[in-house]
Structure 1
Amino acid sequence: MFSHPLLEGSAKQALNTPNSLAISRTMADQFFGSPAAAIGKTIRYENRKDFRVSAVFGRHG
């Protein structure tokens, strides 16, 4: 289901619930400090809906 290389999270479960969210490595670094730190964290969209980070995609290195 998820075709981008994942740095954190599981491809089988990356987007399996309505509030799951996959973010880029850049976004994970900017908001949480690292891809590993982003997993399980919440991002609020338009100050109305919460999404839980379930995967981080991008290049290694």
Structure 2
Amino acid sequence: MTTPPDGLPVYRLLTGPDDAAFCHRVSEALKAGYRLHEGPAITFDGERVIVAQAVVWPGA
């Protein structure tokens, strides 16, 4: 497949609380064919840890 499925962009930034739901979202992107782009970014909003992970479509 030369383009991401379902009209998704070639670059995506997944963000959210550092929980199982976020990990599942990243895992689903990897299963769909995306690759991690660098390491995650992590911050604290005063109540919880918030993470961001960029994923890119191979060959983009």
Query: TM (normalized to structure 1)?
Result: 0.27
Structure with greater strand share of residues: 2
Query: TM (normalized to structure 2)?
Result: 0.27
Larger radius of gyration: 2
